[in-house]
Amino acid sequence: MSKLLLGMLLSCVPLQVLGWDWHTRVTLVLKEESLLTACRLLEKNYGIHFSFSRDLVDLSRKVTINARNKPLKKVLELLFEPNDIAYTRIGNQVVLTVKITPARTISGYAEDAHTGEKLIGATIYCPGQQAGTVTNQYGFYSLTLKKDTSSLLASYVGYTPQRYPLPATGNRQLTVALQPLNSLQEVVVTENMQPHLQEQTQMSKINLAVTEVKSVPKLLGEPDVLRTLQSLPGVSGGAEGSGGMSVRGGSPDQNLVLLDGTPVFNSSHVFGIFSVFNPDIVKNADLYKGAFPARYGGRLSSVIDISMKDGDMKEYHGEVSISTIAAKFMVEGPLWKDRTSFILSGRRSYIDLLLQDAMNKTLGLGKKGDFYAYFYDANVRINHIFSPKDRLYLSAYGGEDALSIKEEHDNSDGDDPSPGPYNQKNGFRLGWGNLTGTLRWNHVFSPRLFSNVTFNYSQYYFLTNYHYEYDGITVPEHSELYGRYISRIQNGVGKIDFDYRPNPNHAVKFGIGSTTHIFKPGSFFFEDNSATPSLPDTTYNNFNTVGVEMIMYGEDDWQLAPNLHLNAGLHTAGFLVEKRFYLSLQPRLGLRYLLPQHWALKAAYTHMNQPIHLLTNNGTNLPTDLWVPSTQKVRPMLSRQWALGIAKTTEDHQYEFSMEAYFKSMNNVIEYTEEASMFNSAGKKWDDQVIIGSGRSYGGELLLEKKLGNTKGWLGYTLAWTDRQFPDVNNGQRFPFKYDVRHNIELTFMQRLGKHWELSGSWQFATGMPVTLPVASYEGIQDPSPYDPVAGPGQRVDELGPRNAVRTANTHRLDLSVTFTTTKKKRTRTWNLSLYNAYNQKNPFFYQIAVDYNKQERYLQQVTILPILPSITYSIKL
């Protein structure tokens, strides 16, 4: 009886009076609660007191635990060991400290198991520690872990996830080789197949899959990287067919377009209808609209970073394709298996070859006349592995557009009714093109430190020439005139970049570089070889201007807390030109905070500087724009951009959603004065003929994308404003910029239909663009110059209204595409039928003032150049 009474008495005494030990049974059930909450519950229910320093031990981390009647020691292991917290009993307290364990680093490359192609942005993840990283643009990764782990998980979109076992201790160099999925395989979502959108600190960035480029509808059968980017929020293509790409209200010259790290100054063919990038050789394309990493600089509005394929390290492959407008090929393979590979591609339009005779007759060029209009581009890349720590890449690009008309009439037999036999020749040629070359050396200094040394060269030129020759036969007479205009910019770059991963909480990048710019803004040459010359031979502006740009940068993607990431960087640039030195400090800040329900709040501030300018002739759609440097009078352009947004990827990786708002200010933007132009500026300094002003852009963007499954696609919406202000334009008042498009909607879908068929479509809507129209006109009074027809007698002179005060018509267009693919004996054949502008919407290319002579009235006439256009493409892969 006494024992029973004693037991009843003890049961009424709180546990904390009797003390506790490691075998004490406890129950703790929590879901997504902090470690601090867990400690307080154990203290309240079981009298277990915890002692720790809040500055050293982070108890804000969320945990989920379901422990019922478990030994205390086991429960503490579940709570603290995954979070690297050590615990020990001192007296009646549990003392918490940071666990110090030797770190180990796993590093290497991620590649395609079949071809050896390096994978950019592949995820390397340690499930046990919930730590991971992604491969850089060379496929290299480095993951430093705080304790030993038994395995890593590697994954990449379009590839089968793979788990790799690891030895018990020590650093390890591991090449991750992933197997590509075929188009019909179901994608199995793993623990961390790809970083969720909300887990990335970076905002205002879009990664474009090459498979999407080839799946969406094609204009005249040609898939196009830049045209696909124009169907995304924040990117406007300007007038239909013009090709000028505006990102968040910036002008086309404010886009930094990189091919293997080398700038491309004109990225379009056929006056902007196609881009210069053959998608058969493109491996990766990233678009940054804001929140620019510190490693990028030199432009205000965007960075388009395109990487070429390496080439198959194991087998030879090839592809031949012919479309409505062009034919192309691609071949790749090993020069030394598993050590050296190459890839080579070429493309040329052929419409001029088919229509040459017809054009000769239509234009009346004569029997010996000639006409051609074409574009071509060619790419080559070679890479060699010297050792696991050293790799060398050599790549080159060359491309050109050309239009030539040669007229020749020979009347030596006197058949022509013109007076006397004669021989006459007229020739005109217009051409522009790019040339780039890149040499890069990757070196791995240690498992945590990666470097890349780059030397590259880039050139863009625009050329036009005219030749006239006349020879009289009966009456000896000889006239010969020759004129040529050329504009060119050349770049030479040397730089070294470092990628340092000390631990999972830091990803540090830093580097230095130098660029030499050589400008020839415009050289005009005229020669008169007539028997009695009336004009002297003349050369204008035949000089070069050299500018030297030096940069230094550093950035760190830093995990401040489990829910908080900070990307902080500084890009420092100096520009030396004409004995003037411009220094620019450009801070870059990005912040990401994880919200409940797996949403992320992101914010960014970026300062950008652009020391080179593009003089644009607003009266023509030809590529006659001139690249010029900053000078004593014209300072570098600069911008400041603020952005705020939210983002989320669903747990099954099916959908991604992002919404962003931004504000961007721009200073030192330039344009020609009203009376200046490219050709009438001969003999004058260009900076005497420009005006300097400022600009603003602001708005919001929304993107909903379906990433996986038989149905893929995206819906995008942009609400935007952009304006400019110049002291002597529009009475000094702000006016809408020519790329001010208020609303833009893009809907794109790709639907797989069984084993062989795929259907895709794209619908785009945009409100009208601003234009300036005359409000009155008067007849010219006098002819101030024999070379100026504008104000001569009998000519109408327009009095223009407010700048860009009138809106053109809204534009919309539906494109459709169907693709049939079949594979037999390792040969894949693909047929594609595309319909551009399926319902034949007459969207404006430009407007002109026309005259109705019956009514003696002038009116605004819309010119459309792209009606409904069907196309067919056939390709075969070997």
Percent with pLDDT over 70 in the chain: 84
Whether 418 shows a pLDDT value over 80: the answer reads no
Residue with tokens 């909450």: 37
Estimate the crossing angle of helix 35-46 against helix 72-80, to 10 degrees.
Answer: 160
Same domain flag for 455 and 497: yes
CA angle 467, 469, 475 (to 5 degrees): 170
Most confident of 87-96, 355-364, 493-502, 620-629: 493-502
Residues 6+ apart with CB under 8 A from 492: 456, 457, 515, 516
Confidence of residue 148 (pLDDT cuts 50, 70, 90): low
Measured in degrees and rounded to the nearest 5, phi and psi for residue 61 equal: -65, 140
Most confident of 182-196, 407-421, 520-534: 520-534
815 and 681 both lie in a single domain: yes
> Dihedral, CA atoms, 800, 804, 807, 810, nearest 10 degrees?
130
Q: Is the pLDDT of residue 785 over 70?
A: no
Give per-residue pLDDT as tens, 247-265.
Answer: 999 998 999 999 999 999 9
Quick: pLDDT tens for 192-215: 445 566 677 889 999 888 888 888
User: Do 69 and 154 have their domain in common?
Assistant: no
Same structural domain, 72 and 111: no
User: Of the residues 161, 195, 229, which one is the last residue of a structural domain?
Assistant: 195
**For position 156, which CATH number holds?**
2.60.40.1120
Q: Rg of the chain over CA atoms, in angstroms?
A: 33
Examine the pLDDT at 187 and tell me if it is beyond 60: no
Cβ(556)–Cβ(568) below 8 Å: yes
Q: Could you tell me if 32 and 164 lie in one domain?
A: no
> What is the pLDDT confidence band of residue 852, given thresholds at 50, 70 and 90?
confident
CB 593 within 8 A of CB 564: yes
CA separation for the pair 733, 728 (Å, rounded): 9
Average of pLDDT values for 309-329? 92
The answer to whether residue 119 is domain-embedded is yes
Helices (H), 310-443: 351-363
Q: Which range, of 10-19, 271-280, 632-641, averages the lowest pLDDT?
A: 10-19
The answer to whether 570 and 551 have CB atoms below 8 angstroms apart is no
| CATH number of the domain bearing residue 70 | 3.55.50.30
- Which range is most confident: 6-15, 369-378, 627-636? 627-636
Of the candidates 67, 98, 129, which is a domain's last residue?
98
Question: With bands split at pLDDT 50, 70 and 90, how would you rate the model's confidence at 147?
Answer: low
Q: List the CATH number of the domain containing 703.
A: 2.40.170.20
pLDDT (0 to 100) of residue 781:
59
Within a domain: 855: yes
The verdict on residue 737 lying in a domain is yes
Mean pLDDT computed over every residue of the chain: 83
- Closest by CA to 121, choosing from 202, 215, 185, is 202
What is the pLDDT at residue 79?
83
Domain span holding position 43? 14-98
Q: Which of 577, 296, 257 is nearest to 436 (CA)?
A: 257
CA–CA separation, 146 vs 100, rounded Å?
Answer: 8
pLDDT value for 15:
43
Segment 60-87 mean pLDDT: 84
pLDDT at residue 13 above 70? no
Residue 219 has pLDDT above 70, yes or no: yes
The DSSP bridge pattern shows strands 449-472 and 506-528 to be: unpaired
pLDDT of residue 2: 45
The mean pLDDT value for 656-667 works out to 96
Mean pLDDT of 281-292: 92
Tell me whether residue 257 is in a domain.
Answer: no
Please tell me the total count of domains within the chain: 3
- Domain boundary (98, 126, 141) is at 98
9 inside domain: no
- Looking at the structure, tell me whether residues 620 and 532 fall in a common domain: yes
The more confident residue out of 4 and 579 is 579
pLDDT of residue 592: 94
Phi and psi of 710, rounded to 5°? -70, -20
Considering the domain architecture, whether residues 314 and 170 belong to the same structural domain is answered as no
Is the same domain home to 110 and 86?
Answer: no
pLDDT digits (tens, 9 = 90+) for 699-721: 999 999 998 888 999 999 999 99
What average pLDDT does this structure show over 801-811? 86
Single-letter residue type at 563: N
Question: Does residue 334 surpass a pLDDT of 90?
Answer: yes
Q: What is the pLDDT of residue 12?
A: 44
At which residue do the structure tokens 């307080």 appear?
40
- Please report where in the chains the tokens 């208020």 appear, as a residue: 742
Structural domain contains residue 694: yes
Q: How many CB atoms lie within 10 A of CB 688?
A: 10
The residue among 65 and 259 whose pLDDT is bigger is: 259
Structure-block tokens of residue 328 = 């192309």
Token reading at 703: 């993107």
832 - beta bridge partners? 819, 873
pLDDT at 125: 84
Cα 391 to chain centroid distance, Å, stands at: 25
Same domain flag for 666 and 733: yes
Q: Which residues contact 785 (CB under 8 A, 6 or more apart)?
A: none
70 and 110 co-located in one domain: no
Going by pLDDT thresholds of 50, 70 and 90, the confidence category of residue 554 is very high
How many angstroms separate the most distant Cα atoms in the chain? 148
Give the pLDDT confidence of 150-162 residue by residue, as tens digits: 788 888 877 888 8
Report which of 566, 502, 602, 561 is spatially closest to residue 196, judged by C-alpha positions: 602
Q: Which of 73-77, 447-451, 616-620 is the most confident on average? A: 447-451
Q: What is the mean pLDDT of residues 342-360?
A: 83
- Measuring CA to CA, which residue among 87, 76, 2 is closest to residue 41? 76
Q: Identify whether 231 is part of a domain.
A: no
| Together in a domain, 94 and 174 | no
How confident is the model at residue 526, as a pLDDT? 64
The answer as to whether 162 is a domain residue is yes
Query: What is the rounded average pLDDT of the residues 269-289?
Result: 87
490, 391: one domain: yes
Q: Is the pLDDT of residue 545 over 80?
A: yes
Residue 184: predicted pLDDT? 44
Report the DSSP beta bridge partners of residue 231: none
3-state helix, strand, coil in the chain (%, to 5): 10, 55, 35
* Mean pLDDT along residues 488-494: 94
The angle at the Cα of 438, spanning 433 to 442, to the nearest 5 degrees, equals 160
Greater confidence (165 vs 658) lies with 658
Which position has the higher pLDDT, 182 or 388? 388
> Mean pLDDT across the stretch 794-823?
85
Q: For residues 297 and 184, give the distance between their C-alpha atoms in angstroms, rounded to a whole number.
A: 41
Cβ neighbourhood burial of 396 (10 Å; 0-12, 13-18, 19+): buried
Q: If DSSP codes are grouped into helix, strand and coil, which group holds residue 299? A: coil
User: Is the predicted pLDDT of residue 683 greater than 50, yes or no?
Assistant: no
Q: What is the mean pLDDT of residues 555-577?
A: 93
The sign of the CA dihedral 291, 297, 299, 302 is negative
Distance from C-alpha of 598 to C-alpha of 651, rounded to nearest angstrom: 9
